[in-house]
Copies of this chain bind each other. A is one copy, B any other.
Amino acid sequence: MPSEFDIIRRYFTRPVKRALLGVGDDCALIAAEAGMVFAVSTDMLVEGRHFHVGADPDKLGHKALAVNLSDLAAMGAAPRYATLALALPEADEAWLGRFSQGLLRLADAFGVELIGGDTTRGPRNISITVMGTVPPELALRRDGARAGDELWLSGASGDAALALAHLDGRIRLAGAALAHCLARLHTPVPCVALGLALRGIATSAIDISDGVVADVGHIAERSGVAIELRYAALPRSRALQACADARLAAECLLAGGDDYELAFTASPDARPRVESLAAELGLTLTRIGSVGAGEPGLVSVYDASGAPMQIARKGFDHFGS
């Protein structure tokens, strides 16, 4: 059986590129870049909660890093470094090989160096901390939305939740729709290029990990504004368009979570720039609502007739029911 040190050496150690010192000392050493500060974020994924027992380790390695890179994207930061703390029930080399492959493939795609970490025996748990760089004055914070701004969403929400609904037996997907939704759930692609491009354009941003309403609510709270969402304006994938259960569709679109798209606000004056960005990056960017001067923190959703909608779930809360 490989030792803790063998595992680190075999699966997680690579030559440093940008870092001054990588895996193998008490600490890694990283230098700041001129004019930049570090954006730092940490996420923890637990077996049985964030991924199921027996989840494909390659996809899990991808997703564990992707959800962290999504936080950097939402800050407008360029990904640079990551540390990995990993608890495993046993030193399963086949699992480690595939997990590290999935993680490092995504790391390479986004220029991220794995600079350190910890491996230990325990119930399967993956905790990653990422560090990226951003000019401090251009960071996309949650607290910059202003009354009059427009609210935008990249891509479409709800597909990861629709995949979960399929896996839970609440709906039956097949063919291309199933493949699309499962890919959205298991191998989300963080919106890094969009986050970088929104520097100087977006007044606030957040990634959609807990559901559109809940995450837009964080912008509303931190910015001290009210936000109105137009349900009919929300972009829908083909899979969601085909969903016959209107209640489930609304739940997925508004409160699904695990989407890793960006919601952001921008001045109406910036609309042409946002629209040309969408074309440049080959992304769908959709105006889904507006920022108002109502009750700070309030998010209201209106249906196509202009009537307010009741939202079933406010988003995913790891200690909620």
Interface residues of A in 138-179 (CB under 8 A from B): 139-143
Contact mask for chain A residues 16-54; partner B; CB cutoff 8 A; 1 contact, 0 none? 000011001111111110000111111110111110000
Residue A300 at the chain B interface, CB threshold 8 Å: no
List the B side residues contacting A43 at CB < 8 Å: 85, 118
List the B side residues contacting A91 at CB < 8 Å: 319
Say yes or no: A41-B116 contact (C-beta < 8 A), given A31-B136, A46-B122, A121-B49: yes
Chain A interface, number of residues (Cβ within 8 angstroms): 72
Say yes or no: A3-B320 contact (C-beta < 8 A), given A32-B32, A46-B123: yes
Pairwise interchain contact A319-B1, C-beta atoms closer than 8 A? yes
Task: Report Cα–Cα, A207/B27, bound state, in Å.
Answer: 11
Interface residues of A in 1-20 (CB under 8 A from B): 1-5, 7, 20
CB of A59 to closest CB in B, whole Å = 19
Pairwise interchain contact B32-A118, C-beta atoms closer than 8 A? no
Interface centre among A25, A39, A318 (most CB of B within 10 A): A25
Residue A237 at the chain B interface, CB threshold 8 Å: no
Pairwise interchain contact B129-A25, C-beta atoms closer than 8 A? no
Task: Report Cα–Cα, A4/B257, bound state, in Å.
Answer: 15
Determine the residue in chain B with the shortest Cβ distance to A81: B40
Pairwise interchain contact B207-A139, C-beta atoms closer than 8 A? no
Say yes or no: A4-B122 contact (C-beta < 8 A), given A28-B39, A40-B131: no
Pairwise interchain contact B26-A125, C-beta atoms closer than 8 A? no
Task: Report Cα–Cα, A319/B118, bound state, in Å.
Answer: 12
Interface centre among A7, A37, A71 (most CB of B within 10 A): A37
List the B side residues contacting A222 at CB < 8 Å: 24-25
Pairwise interchain contact A129-B27, C-beta atoms closer than 8 A? no
Task: Report Cα–Cα, A44/B24, bound state, in Å.
Answer: 16
Residue A61 at the chain B interface, CB threshold 8 Å: no
Pairwise interchain contact A318-B119, C-beta atoms closer than 8 A? yes
The stretch from A72-80, A180-188, A268-276, A301-309 touching chain B is A72-80
CB of A306 to closest CB in B, whole Å = 31
Residue A103 at the chain B interface, CB threshold 8 Å: no
Interface residues of A in 45-99 (CB under 8 A from B): 46-50, 71-72, 74-75, 77, 81, 83-87, 90-91
List the B side residues contacting A298 at CB < 8 Å: none
Say yes or no: A50-B120 contact (C-beta < 8 A), given A27-B72, A37-B32, A320-B3: yes
CB of A82 to closest CB in B, whole Å = 10
CB of A71 to closest CB in B, whole Å = 4
CB of A288 to closest CB in B, whole Å = 19
Pairwise interchain contact B71-A26, C-beta atoms closer than 8 A? yes
Please report A residues at the B interface, Cβ cutoff 8 Å. Answer: 1-5, 7, 20-21, 24-32, 37-44, 46-50, 71-72, 74-75, 77, 81, 83-87, 90-91, 115-123, 125, 127, 129, 131-132, 134, 136, 139-143, 205-207, 222, 317-320
Q: List 6 A-B contacts (CB under 8 A).
A: A7-B319, A24-B222, A29-B39, A29-B75, A30-B38, A42-B84
